[in-house]
Amino acid sequence: MADISDQPRQNFRIGMLLYDARYRSLTIQVIAAILIMLFLVRLVDNTVTNLAAVGKDIRFNFLWSTAGYDINQQLIPFTSQDTHARAALVGILNTLLVAFLGCILATVIGVFAGVLRLSKNWLVARVMTVYVECMRNTPLLIWILIVFAVMTEATPQPAQFREGGTASMILWDSVAISNRGVFMPRPIWGDGAGIVMAILGLSIIGIFVLRYVARKRQEDTGQQLPVLPLSLALLILPVTLAFFALGRPIDLDYPVLGGFNFQGGLQVRNSFIALWLALSLYTSAFIAEIVRSGILAVSKGQTEAAFALGMQPNRTMQLIILPQALRVIVPPLISQFLNLTKNSSLALAVGYMDARSTLGGITVNQTGRELEGILLLGIFYLITSLIISSAMNFYNSGVKLKER
Amino acid sequence: MSRNDNIAYVRTDMLPEAAPPPGTAGLGKWLRENLFAGPFNTAMTILAIYVVWSILSSSVPWMYNGIWNASSLSECREIRDARGLESAACWAVINERWLQMLFGFYPTDNPLLARLFYADELEAAGGAEVVFGGGITVTQRVAFISAMKDDLNNSTLFFFGYWRPLAALALLVVAVAPVLYSNLPRALLVFSLAYPFIAFFLLWGGSVWLPVLVALGLVATVLAGRFAAGFIGSLGGFFVGLIVFLLFFMNPLGIDGLFPLLPKLRGMLDGAMPWGLPYISSENFGGFMLAIIIGTSGIVLSLPLGIALALGRQSNMPLIKWVCVSFIEVIRGVPLIVWLFTASTLLNYFLPPGTTFDLLLRVIIMVTLFASAYLAEVVRGGLAALPTGQYEAASSLGLDYWKSMRLIILPQALKISIPGIVNTFIGLFKDTTLVVFIGLRDPLGLTNAIRATSEWNGIYWELYIFVGALFFVFCFFMSRYSMYLERRLRTDHR
C-alpha cells in the first residue's frame, strides 16, 4: 500500500472501486450510508404508520398538562396540580440525589474495603474478600429488595417508641429508625443563618488557600506548616463564633411521636434508604476491586525508591503511591459512578419516585405517550452519562503519561 | 588449611539443627504476623472477630434450625414455637416451591408422567388419547392432572415432568465444555454449533423440522458461499451465500410460489413425518430457567457483535466509526431497564405494521445489544493496549485487514480483555433479573408471586437467599473460570 506513489498514475476504471484500497473504503462507506439511510427511513416510516394506526402522533404538549398524581419525596415543592414537566423535574432531582449520595457512600466504603483487602491482617483481608465476592456475584435487585425488607420488616413500628415501648431513639433521642422511615431533626433557618453558612463557605475556601500556601512554602523553603490542625481550626472556630454571636440562628426541629406516627423533623423514606444503601454497598464492592488493583499496579520499586530517599511511609503513600495509583483508579471509578447513576433506575422495585417512575412511569401511563416519555427519559440519562464521561476524559487527558 | 595442634578441641561432626525459638515458627509465628502484628492490627482482628461472630451467631442457628416441612408460614411459626426456638428459617417454602423457582410455570410433560406412573388410572380414565387429546371435558382433564400432581413428589416431578429443560441444560454443559476447555476433543465443537437448534426444539417444542431446516439453511448458505468463493473470489462467494440465504429464508422478489423455501419444505416434511414435541409458548417460561436462557443467548450473541463494534470503532472509515461510536454511546448511556421498557412497549412501533413477535425474543435481542456495547468498549481497551508494532508487523507480512485481525491482533487483544469480557458476561447474567419489570417471571418476580399467596405471605429471607445463592454459584464459576483462562493463556515469563 505504501509503494503506490512509485507506480505510474493509472486511469480510473470501475473495477478499482472494489479492488483498489484507495477507493474501496469509499465504496464500502457509500453502501453503508445507503443501507443506514434506508433503515432509518423505514424505521421512521413504520413508527409514523403504526402511531397513526392507533390514532397517535408525536407531540410533547402533554408535559404542560396537570400531572394529577402525588410524589412522596420532593426536593422542590410539588402538588398534584402541577404539570407533568414539573413532576419529571422532581423525579430527575430525586435520581440525581440518590446517585450523588450513593457515589459518595460507595466511594467511602469501597476505598475502605479495597485497602482492607490488601491488609496484612489475614482475617480482615478474608472478611473483605467474602464481602466483595458476595456483593459482586449477586444481582443488585436482590440487594435492594433485601435492604428494603430489613427496613420495613426488621425495624420497629412508630408506636413502639412510646414510653415503655420496645424501641428507643438513637443519638440522644434525635433519630428514630422505624418501619415508616428514618426520622431525624430538621434544621430551621432563622435570621442570620445565611451569614453563618456564608462564613462556613468562606472557611472552606480558606482551607484550600491554606493548603496551597503551605505547599508553595514547602516547595520554596522546605519548611512544613501544620496543615491539619490549622484547617480544623479554620473550619470550626469562625462558624462557631458567628453562630453564637448571631444568637443561634439555626435551630433543630426534633421529630416527636404523636398519634401513630412521628410529627415534625425530617422523614427519610425507607424506599430512599433501601435504594441508597443497596446501590452504595453493591457499587462499593466494584470500587474496592478497582482501588485494590490500582494500588497493586504501582510497582514495588516505587515504594523502595521512596524509602531509599528517606521518605516516611505516610509521605510515601501520599506523594508517591497515591498519585500513580489514582491514574489507574479514577477512570474505572467514574464509570462505576456512571453505573450507579443508571442503576438508580431500579428505584422502581421499592417505589422510590425517580425519573424512571415519574416521567417514564406514571406520566407515561396516564397520558399514553410511551414514545415521547421514554425518549425524554433516555435523553436525560444520556446527557447525564455524557457529562460524567466527558469529565472523565478531561481528567484522563490531564493525568495521562506523556509518551511519544 | 593446616592442622593446628594448639587447639584443644575441634568439632568434627555437624551440630543437629536446633528448633527455632518459640514464637518464630508454626502457628505462633503465623498468628503473630497475620493477626496480632502491633496494637492497631490486634484491634482490627478483634473488631473483625466481633463482626464475624455477630453475623454468624445470629444466622447460623437460624439456618441450621430451619424448618423443612410445613405448608405455610404460620405452620412454620407454630413448629418453631413448639420446639422452643428463638428464630428458625422456614425452608419449607423452598421445599415446596423450588420447582416453581427453577422453571416458573413451564408445563410439566403430563402424558409422559401419566404413562410412567399412573398407567392404570390412565386406562381407567380412557387412555392417554382421551385424557390428553381433548376427548373428555376440560374439567375432567384438569382434575386428572391435578390429582396426579398432588400425588407425585417434587423430585419425581423434577426428573420426569421437566425433562425437556433439564435435557437442554445437560446438553448445554456438553456444548459449552469444548469451548471452555481446550483439552477436550475438537470434534465436540460441531455439537456446540448444533446446540442452539437442539435447545430451541427441546424448550419450545413444536415441529422438529423448523429447527432442522433453519440449521440446514444456514449450513447451505455457508457451503454455497465457500464453494463459490473457490471460483469467483471471496466477494463473489459472499454474494452467492447471500442469495442462497435470501432464497431460503425470505422472498426478496415478492413472488408467491416457490420462495421462500423454508415454509414450503417444512410443510412437505410435516406432512410426511409429523414428528415433534408439544409446543410451549414462552409466556410459560420462568424462574431460573429464564435467567439461563436469556443469559446464555445474550452471552453467545453479544460477543461477535461486540468485537465487530470494537473493530468498527477503530476503523479509519469515518462513517463506520461514527455509526459505531454513536451506537455504543447511546446504548451505554441509557439504563438497561429503559431499554427493556422500550423492547416491551415501543418495539412494535418500529417494526413493520402487523409484525408481532415474542416478548422473550425481544428481551434477548435488547439484552444482546446492550451487552455488545459494553463488550465493544472492553475489546477496544484490549485493541488499544496492543503496541502499534503488532499492527505494523501484520501489515509488513502482507496480511490483509481481516487476516491480520484474525491471526495477529484479536487473539492478543481478546486475551488482554478476558477479565473485562467475563465481567460483562457476569453483569449480563445478573441483569437478567431486571426482566421482572416488564412482566416476565424471573426468579425474583416469582418470589413476589409466592409471597402473594396467603400461605407464604411475609416470607422474605429464605426466598432471597435461595435466589441469591443460585446466582452466586453461576457468577462465581464464571469469575473463577476467567482467572483460570488468564493463567492458561499467559505467555509472558513471570
Do B35 and A46 lie within an 8 Å CB cutoff? Answer: no
| Phi, psi dihedrals of residue A335, rounded to the nearest 5° | -70, -25
CA neighbor of B336 nearest in space, from B304, B374, B386: B374
pLDDT at B153: 72
Residues B400, B254 share a domain: no
| Alpha carbons B142 and B131: distance in angstroms, whole number | 9
Q: In this structure, is residue B85 part of a structural domain?
A: no
Domain range for B41: 18-64
Do A139 and B430 lie within an 8 Å CB cutoff? Answer: yes
DSSP B434-474: GGGGGT-B-HHHHHHHHHTSSTTTT--HHHHHHHHHHHHHH
Do B44 and A138 lie within an 8 Å CB cutoff? Answer: no
pLDDT at A404: 46
Number of domains comprising chain B: 3
Distances in whole angstroms, Cα of residue A387 to Cα of each of A382, A394, B15: 9, 11, 73
Residues B473, B339 share a domain: yes
Q: In this structure, is residue B22 part of a structural domain?
A: yes
Which residue type does A110 have? Answer: G
Identify the three-state secondary structure at position A253.
strand
Close Cβ partners of A101 (under 8 Å, ≥ 6 residues apart): A276, A280
Residues B312, B271 share a domain: no
Nearest Cα of chain B lies from the Cα of A66 at a distance, in angstroms, of: 24
At A249, list the grid cell: 440562628
Residues B229, B112 share a domain: yes
Distances in whole angstroms, Cα of residue A100 to Cα of each of A104, A227, A384, B265, B365: 7, 29, 12, 59, 32
Residues B266, B201 share a domain: yes
Contact list, A42 vs chain B (CB under 8 Å) = 352
pLDDT at A284: 94
pLDDT at A1: 46
- Superfamily assignment of A84-185+254-396 in CATH? MetI-like (1.10.3720.10)
Close Cβ partners of B363 (under 8 Å, ≥ 6 residues apart): B294, B340, B343, B344, B435, B438, B440
CA neighbor of B188 nearest in space, from B201, B200, B199, B179: B179
Instruction: Identify from B239, B434, B457, B466 which residue to disrupt to test chain A contact, counting A C-beta atoms within 10 A and taking the largest count.
Output: B434
Residues B340, B321 share a domain: yes
Q: Say yes or no: A186 contacts chain B, CB-CB below 8 A.
A: no
Do A18 and B235 lie within an 8 Å CB cutoff? Answer: yes
Residues B272, B301 share a domain: no
| Alpha carbons B386 and B413: distance in angstroms, whole number | 7
Average pLDDT over residues A50-71: 78
| Alpha carbons A202 and A102: distance in angstroms, whole number | 27
Nearest Cα of chain A lies from the Cα of B372 at a distance, in angstroms, of: 16
Residues B475, B396 share a domain: yes
Helix and strand element counts for chain B (H, E): 24, 2
CATH assignment at residue B352: 1.10.3720.10
Instruction: Per residue of chain B (494 residues), give pLDDT as tens.
Output: 455 567 788 888 888 888 888 777 778 788 887 778 788 888 888 999 999 999 998 888 888 888 888 888 888 888 888 888 878 888 888 888 888 888 888 877 667 777 777 777 777 766 666 666 654 556 666 667 677 767 777 777 777 778 888 888 888 888 888 888 888 888 888 888 888 888 888 888 888 888 888 888 888 888 888 888 877 777 778 888 888 888 777 766 666 666 677 777 787 887 787 787 778 888 888 888 889 999 999 998 999 999 999 999 888 888 888 999 999 989 988 999 889 988 888 887 887 777 777 888 889 999 999 999 999 988 988 888 888 888 899 989 988 888 899 898 898 888 888 888 888 899 999 989 888 888 888 888 888 888 888 888 888 888 899 999 999 999 999 888 888 888 888 776 55
The predicted-structure confidence for A278-320, as pLDDT tens digits, reads as follows: 999 999 999 999 998 888 888 889 989 999 999 888 888 888 8
- DSSP bridge partners of A178: A181
- Residue A372: closest CA among chain B residues belongs to which residue? B346
How many CA atoms, within 13 angstroms, populate the side-chain half-sphere of residue A97? 19
| Phi, psi dihedrals of residue A182, rounded to the nearest 5° | -100, 125
ipTM: 0.83
Residues B119, B57 share a domain: no
Residues B417, B272 share a domain: no
pLDDT at B277: 79
Identify the three-state secondary structure at position A21.
helix
- A and B: number of Cβ contacts within 8 A: 149
- Count Cβ atoms below 10 Å from residue A43 Cβ, excluding itself: 13
At B303, list the grid cell: 460477543
| Alpha carbons B401 and B422: distance in angstroms, whole number | 27
Contact list, B346 vs chain A (CB under 8 Å) = 370-371, 374
Residues B317, B258 share a domain: no
Do B41 and A381 lie within an 8 Å CB cutoff? Answer: no
For A381, the closest of B52, B335, B437 (CB atoms) is: B335
Model confidence at A109: pLDDT above 90 = yes
What are the b/e assignments for B371-410, b being 16+ CB within 10 Å?
Answer: bbbbbbbbbbebbeeeeeeebeebeeeebeeeebbeebbb
Residues B301, B237 share a domain: no
Model confidence at A11: pLDDT above 90 = no
At A171, list the grid cell: 443519638
At B271, list the grid cell: 406432512
Q: Say yes or no: A133 contacts chain B, CB-CB below 8 A.
A: yes
At B6, list the grid cell: 594448639
For chain A, the structural domain boundaries read 13-53, 84-185+254-396, 186-253
A contact residues 19-48, partner B, Cβ 8 Å cutoff: 25, 28-29, 32-33, 36, 42-43, 46-47
A contact residues 81-120, partner B, Cβ 8 Å cutoff: 119-120
Highest mean pLDDT among A25-29, A220-224, B463-467: B463-467
Contact list, A32 vs chain B (CB under 8 Å) = 319-320, 323
- Residue A389: closest CA among chain B residues belongs to which residue? B333
Identify the three-state secondary structure at position A382.
helix
